[in-house]
Amino acid sequence: MNTRKMVHLAMLTSVGLALHIIESMIPNPFTAFAPGAKLGLANIVGLITLAIYGIKYALAVNILRSFIGGLASGAVISMMYSMAGALVSTIIMWAMYKFFRKYFSLIGVSIFGALGHNMAQLTVASIIIKNPKIFAYLPILMLTSIFTGIFIGITANYTLSKTKASIDYIVRP
């Protein structure tokens, strides 16, 4: 890995971490009908990293962001939810991006990632509270996943299109 790429990945991780922390400070717009649902702003960075560098670096950026974000906030339980969601959503987005790119744009990939993220977090919650009835909340989270996935996908698409020249410079050999 060259220095440029290492610095770029460190910057992506930092931006993801900043978005992760900022979002935790913003009042939740979904509280009325989907408590706990969030936009997932840090997932913009994960999706961009996946599109540029692939699964290995996207996993590294997302897991580091979740781990450091959990340490910074002091919320260990929250870190478990975040890391499970980051791991599952990154793997799902990679599979969609790699195998179904001709059928789905980054927006579609992002929607699948949001769905996977919520499934992973519900699974962690059901393990922690030892009650699978929490999955009754899944339809509401799936609906919010569609909207948040669209927003994250559009934002990632826009960011990639506006930074293409810079990215091409960074990733060149």
Domain layout of the chain by residue ranges: 3-171
Higher pLDDT, 168 or 2: 2
Q: pLDDT tens digit string along 19-62?
A: 988 988 888 776 777 777 788 999 999 999 999 999 999 999 99
Q: What is the mean pLDDT of residues 158-165?
A: 86
- What is the per-residue pLDDT for 24? 83
Q: pLDDT tens digit string along 85-128?
A: 999 999 999 999 999 999 999 999 999 999 999 999 999 999 99
Q: Which CATH number describes the domain made up of 3-171?
A: 1.10.1760.20
- DSSP letters for the chain: --HHHHHHHHHHHHHHHHHHHHHHHSPPTTTTTSTT----THHHHHHHHHHHH-HHHHHHHHHHHHHHHHHHHT-HHHHHHHHHHHHHHHHHHHHHHHHSTTT--HHHHHHHHHHHHHHHHHHHHHHHHT-GGGGGGHHHHHHHHHHHHHHHHHHHHHHHHHTHHHHHHHH--
Q: What pTM value is reported for the model? A: 0.89
